[in-house]
Every structure is written in C-alpha cells, then in structure tokens.
A and B are shown apart, each in its own frame.
Chain A
C-alpha cells in the first residue's frame, strides 16, 4: 500500500518513468511480434522444404532453361531420390509489386502432387480448410492458399481471374504460415497453356512438356549429398537448393531478426533503465529524511532496500503492462490492416508476452538496485539532518 502511495505521491514523475519504460517495451513487443511472425514463416518454410531439394530454372530471356522430361528423368534415376515433384510456377499478378506472401499460380499434376505430399511428411502437408480438390482431368479450377484467398476475397465457388484466364475456386487451403499461403494451385495443363502463350518461341519449338521448377524428395539428412550428385548430372542453368542450404539461409534470416529484437530490447533497457535510475535517485534524495526516521525507529537495511526495490520493480511492471497493452492494440489494428493485404504481419505469442513483462520487471529491479542500495546504506544521522 505504502509503495503505491509513494508512487502516487509523485504521480507525474512516476507516470513519465512508467511511460518511458512503456515506450521501450512497446518497441520491444512490436519488433518481437514481427520477428515471431517471421520466425513462424521460416519454421513453416523449413518444414515444407525439409525433404525437398529445390531445382529452379534460372529462366533467361528465351526461357531455354525450363525443365524438360529429360531433366526430370535424370533426377528420378538419381539414387536416393524417392520422387520428383514438378510445378509450373508463375507470378499470379506481375503488377502487384512487393507482397509479404507473394502470390503465384502453381500448376500441378494431381497424382504427382499427392505422392509428394505423402512422402514429404506430416509437417509439410497442405490441407484443405474448405471445399475439395479437383478431379484428375478437370480444367479451369483452382485451390487457393489462405493468404491468396484472403487478399483477393475469394471463397469456394468464386471465380479467380489471373493472367487473363478464369478459374473456378473449388478449395481453400489451411494456413501454413509459409510460402504455399500465397499460392493458387491450378491444373498443370492450364498453367502450361499460360506459360507457353507468353512465350511465342516455346510454342514455335513445340516444347510442351516443360516445368519451371521441380522438387526432388529425399530422405532426411540426404539432401546435401544428393544435391551434389544432381548438380553434376544436370545441365548448367539450374539453381539447386538443398534443404540444408535453405535451413542455413533461414537460420541466418532468423538470427538477423533475433538480433534486431535484442537490439531494440537493448535500447529499451538503456532508455527505461536510465529513467528508473533517475526517478529512484530522486526518490531517495527526496525521502532522505524519511529514510533517517525509519532507520531511527529501527528499520534495518534490508527493510529499506526492499521498499525501494519494490517501488522500482512496480514501476517496471506497470511500464511493461502499459507498453504491452499499447502494443497489443497497435498489433491488432496493424494486423487488421495487413489482413486486407493478405497476411497479418505480427504475431503476439505467449512467450513474447511473458518475455516482455518479465523483461520490464527485471529492468525495473535492476535499475532500482543502485538507488535502493544507496538508500539502505545512508547514515541515519546524516539522513536525519535532511529536511
């Protein structure tokens, strides 16, 4: 009670200090929520690519490096490759500019896709949230990833118009927090038609058995080795990524992000801690007489230390709660806005909430330690001279 009254007595100063910490924690939480979202995306991507060696055509002006049946056969014959998943992938809307979950039209052959799903394992499986898959042989149909559906406001039964063609939406995928969220899966033949219609040369050459990218599905741990073998067996002009490379790249990205959070956290520490130290030193100076009286009537060092520490911890906790509250509102608003763009940008996880609160409290305590120590060690005679 006394602690609250002491804080209330200096409510302007307390308020400003709490606000200082709140701003730090706000920055920490918002940055952290963004990082949590990206970490989740990266985790989702890692799961999806855990058993997939990605093979992309490097494209080129004339699109000579598309994957043809010959390359697919080379891959299939490579020992250790259990299956080759083929895709024809192109931007859904080339005018869209930057997108957090880029939208792609992805042409697939259902039996080929289904087998890849089976081998890739549970964590990498794409599941339907609504509707159904099309039947083999169907044309002009699409199954949409969650972000793509959200962004284009499409549901089962609606019509997707992309690159001048129309597709009836038959299914919507569950959110994966990964790349497939931005996909519109369509029958391979439809995709190939779109691809070739864009490239007169291909049409002229009659190359109708082509794919833009393929995934060689391998057993866990075999990725690196088989990638090397594939790189030697394939013609030049293809980009190969082993699962390990993707994991390493993802690790780098997530390390960068985590460093960014720690960086913003460090700023929060410095700003917040300075504010608390300042406030608590003021409080000790202002209450020197009171400390003297308390010591005279028998308060031990521990009692005085505890009192001031409790105050600074409370300031930290209040700042944490306030900062977290503002961050939660801000994140909800921003996510609401981002959702109309396809995918929420922030993810407020329980560990982030407790982390931020714990961090604020610890910060308050640490910053209050020095002033509290000084208060506890004041000489009672000196302290009593103060008015």
Chain B
C-alpha cells in the first residue's frame, strides 16, 4: 500500500450564489485506514466540504485528489463512476430506498456496476452479515429500527469496496445506545478492513472513535487534533 495520503484537498473555495463563502481556502489530508472527524458549528462549511470530497459538488477553485485521481479535473459525466467505484456514503437518516429490502438496498451499487443479480445479492448478503443484520435481509427499511437502518447504510457504503466512506452525521438521528453500537461497528470495520472514513459530526461521542479530528470555522479547516 502506498504511503501517499488517500485524500488531498487543497485551498478549496466554494461561494454560493448569495455570496456566502461556504468554503474559504479549506485544505485537509486523509491517510489510508484512518477515521477522520470533521467538526464545527452549523454553517462552518462541513457539509459543503463533504459534498466536494464526495464528488457531489465542485469547488469554485482548489483541487481534490482521491486515491491518486484528481477528481476536480474530471467532467460531470465521469463523476457518477467515481462515486460508484471509489466512494461510499452514509447520511444522517433516510439513507435507504423505502421500496427495496435491506438486501436490495445493499445490492444497489453492485447492480449499477452491472454485476449479475445472483452475484450482487451474494455479496450484499455477506456484507449485511458482516454488520450483524444477517437475519434482516428481506426486511423493508420501514420494518427496521433507526440503528439497523444506519447499519444497512454502512453495509451499502462498503459493498463496492470503496477507497473512502463519507459519513454525514451518521449518528445524528440515533439514540445514544444505537449511536455507540454504530461507532463500534465503524471502528471494527476500519481495523478489520483498513477502511478509511471521513465523518462530519456534531457529536462528541463520534469524536472519540476518530483517529484525527479537523475543526472547521467560517469555511476554513483549522489544525487537526488527535481524536
């Protein structure tokens, strides 16, 4: 494995139409296998940074390299493929497609990768078993608890074996017990699989599982501190 950082973001600027400078020269690096937290008050630019790292949005200036690819130079049409092959996402809530079962939700990225259905479902099943939901394969999201839904979301984020998983307030909608269980799961996956996570959060409990924490203020990333 190379010793190069997995993610390098340099001097990111993003100005929204009303003149709001959501990012004002934000830079950070993330190494492989780390869990990196990004904390800050609301409006500090955390979500915008996450969207740009996740290739969902583009900065007005600055550059982002993920896994050796300078994604800020890619065309719009190429970005879905980057998200599909190199990235995983976990959002705060409502992560899942309500009409699909847990198994189908987890298999979704593999179906977009055009894997054969039998193959896709086999991998999805293994991933759900790894997050401890082997007995909930055919439940619809509405039939799962909030904590279980977030674990399905993590399984889906990991099923395509991404270089980087981006999580936006993953525990934000959970009670403290479910939140702790989810964080333990992330920790374990990070250790077992060498999986890299970038987690945007308010939650100090999340901070405790992070290897490093970046603090954000007014669109800038302040120095990082050990978690």
| Chain B hits for A9, CB < 8 A | 98-99
User: Judging by beta carbons under 8 Å apart, are B56 and A300 in contact?
Assistant: no
Stretch at the interface among A16-24, A130-138, A287-295: A287-295
Q: Is B97 engaged at the interface, CB distance under 8 Å to the other chain?
A: yes
A118→B171 CA distance, assembly (Å): 92
The binding surface of chain A is classed by DSSP as: helix
| A residues 3-35 touching B (CB-CB < 8 Å) | 5-6, 9
| Chain A hits for B98, CB < 8 A | 9, 290
| A residues 32-56 touching B (CB-CB < 8 Å) | none
User: Judging by beta carbons under 8 Å apart, are A297 and B112 in contact?
Assistant: yes
| Chain B hits for A6, CB < 8 A | 99
In angstroms, how far is the closest chain A Cβ from the Cβ of B110? 10
A337→B89 CA distance, assembly (Å): 65
Per the CB 8 Å criterion, the residue count for chain A at the interface is: 20
Q: Is A165 engaged at the interface, CB distance under 8 Å to the other chain?
A: no
Stretch at the interface among A106-114, A346-354, A379-387: A379-387
User: Judging by beta carbons under 8 Å apart, are B97 and A290 in contact?
Assistant: yes
Q: Is A296 engaged at the interface, CB distance under 8 Å to the other chain?
A: yes
| B residues 106-159 touching A (CB-CB < 8 Å) | 108-109, 112-113, 156-157
| Chain A hits for B81, CB < 8 A | 298, 300
Residue of B nearest to A300 (CB): B80
Q: Is B104 engaged at the interface, CB distance under 8 Å to the other chain?
A: yes
| Chain B hits for A300, CB < 8 A | 80-81, 112
Q: Is A225 engaged at the interface, CB distance under 8 Å to the other chain?
A: no
Residue of A289, A298, A384 most packed against chain B (CB within 10 A): A298
| Chain B hits for A295, CB < 8 A | 56, 80, 83
Residue of A nearest to B81 (CB): A298
Q: Is B91 engaged at the interface, CB distance under 8 Å to the other chain?
A: yes
In angstroms, how far is the closest chain B Cβ from the Cβ of A293? 6
User: Judging by beta carbons under 8 Å apart, are B57 and A298 in contact?
Assistant: no
Map CB proximity to A onto B88-108 as digits: 1 under 8 Å, 0 otherwise: 110100111111100010001
A294→B107 CA distance, assembly (Å): 12
Name the one of A2, A290, A298, A384 contacting B112, with C-beta atoms under 8 angstroms.
Answer: A298
Q: Is B222 engaged at the interface, CB distance under 8 Å to the other chain?
A: no
Name the one of A2, A297, A380, A381 contacting B156, with C-beta atoms under 8 angstroms.
Answer: A297
In angstroms, how far is the closest chain A Cβ from the Cβ of B173? 11
User: Judging by beta carbons under 8 Å apart, are B99 and A384 in contact?
Assistant: no
Contact A297/B99 with A2-B104, A381-B57, A384-B56 known, Cβ cut-off 8 Å: no
User: Judging by beta carbons under 8 Å apart, are A2 and B56 in contact?
Assistant: no
Map CB proximity to B onto A286-314 as digits: 1 under 8 Å, 0 otherwise: 00011001111111110100000000000
User: Judging by beta carbons under 8 Å apart, are A381 and B112 in contact?
Assistant: no
Per the CB 8 Å criterion, the residue count for chain B at the interface is: 28
User: Judging by beta carbons under 8 Å apart, are A297 and B108 in contact?
Assistant: yes
| Chain B hits for A290, CB < 8 A | 97-98
Name the one of B51, B85, B91, B99 contacting A298, with C-beta atoms under 8 angstroms.
Answer: B85
Name the one of B80, B95, B112 contacting A293, with C-beta atoms under 8 angstroms.
Answer: B95
A381→B99 CA distance, assembly (Å): 22
A297→B55 CA distance, assembly (Å): 11
A132→B159 CA distance, assembly (Å): 81
Q: Is B84 engaged at the interface, CB distance under 8 Å to the other chain?
A: yes
Residue of B nearest to A386 (CB): B94
User: Judging by beta carbons under 8 Å apart, are B91 and A293 in contact?
Assistant: yes
Name the one of A298, A381, A384 contacting B109, with C-beta atoms under 8 angstroms.
Answer: A298
A299→B82 CA distance, assembly (Å): 11
| Chain A hits for B99, CB < 8 A | 2, 5-6, 9
In angstroms, how far is the closest chain A Cβ from the Cβ of B141? 11
User: Judging by beta carbons under 8 Å apart, are B56 and A298 in contact?
Assistant: no
User: Judging by beta carbons under 8 Å apart, are A294 and B56 in contact?
Assistant: no
Contact A293/B97 with A298-B83, A299-B80, A381-B51 known, Cβ cut-off 8 Å: yes
Q: Is B40 engaged at the interface, CB distance under 8 Å to the other chain?
A: no
Residue of B nearest to A290 (CB): B97
In angstroms, how far is the closest chain B Cβ from the Cβ of A212? 73
Residue of A9, A296, A380, A384 most packed against chain B (CB within 10 A): A296
| Chain A hits for B56, CB < 8 A | 295-296, 380-381, 384
Q: Is B54 engaged at the interface, CB distance under 8 Å to the other chain?
A: yes
A300→B78 CA distance, assembly (Å): 9
Name the one of B83, B104, B113 contacting A296, with C-beta atoms under 8 angstroms.
Answer: B83
Residue of B57, B83, B104, B157 most packed against chain A (CB within 10 A): B83
User: Judging by beta carbons under 8 Å apart, are B108 and A296 in contact?
Assistant: no
Cβ contacts A to B, 21 pairs, < 8 Å: A2-B97, A2-B100, A5-B99, A9-B98, A293-B89, A293-B97, A296-B83, A296-B89, A296-B91, A297-B84, A297-B108, A297-B109, A297-B157, A298-B80, A298-B83, A298-B109, A299-B80, A299-B112, A380-B56, A384-B56, A384-B91
Residues of B within 8 A of A (CB): 51, 54, 56-57, 80-81, 83-85, 87-89, 91, 94-100, 104, 108-109, 112-113, 156-157, 160
Ordered nearest first, which 8 A-B pairs have the shortest CB separation? A298-B84, A5-B99, A298-B83, A300-B80, A296-B89, A380-B56, A297-B109, A381-B57
Apart from A289-B94, A298-B83: 18 A-B pairs, beta carbons within 8 A: A2-B99, A2-B100, A2-B104, A5-B99, A5-B100, A9-B98, A290-B97, A290-B98, A293-B89, A293-B94, A293-B96, A294-B108, A295-B83, A297-B88, A298-B113, A300-B80, A303-B112, A381-B51
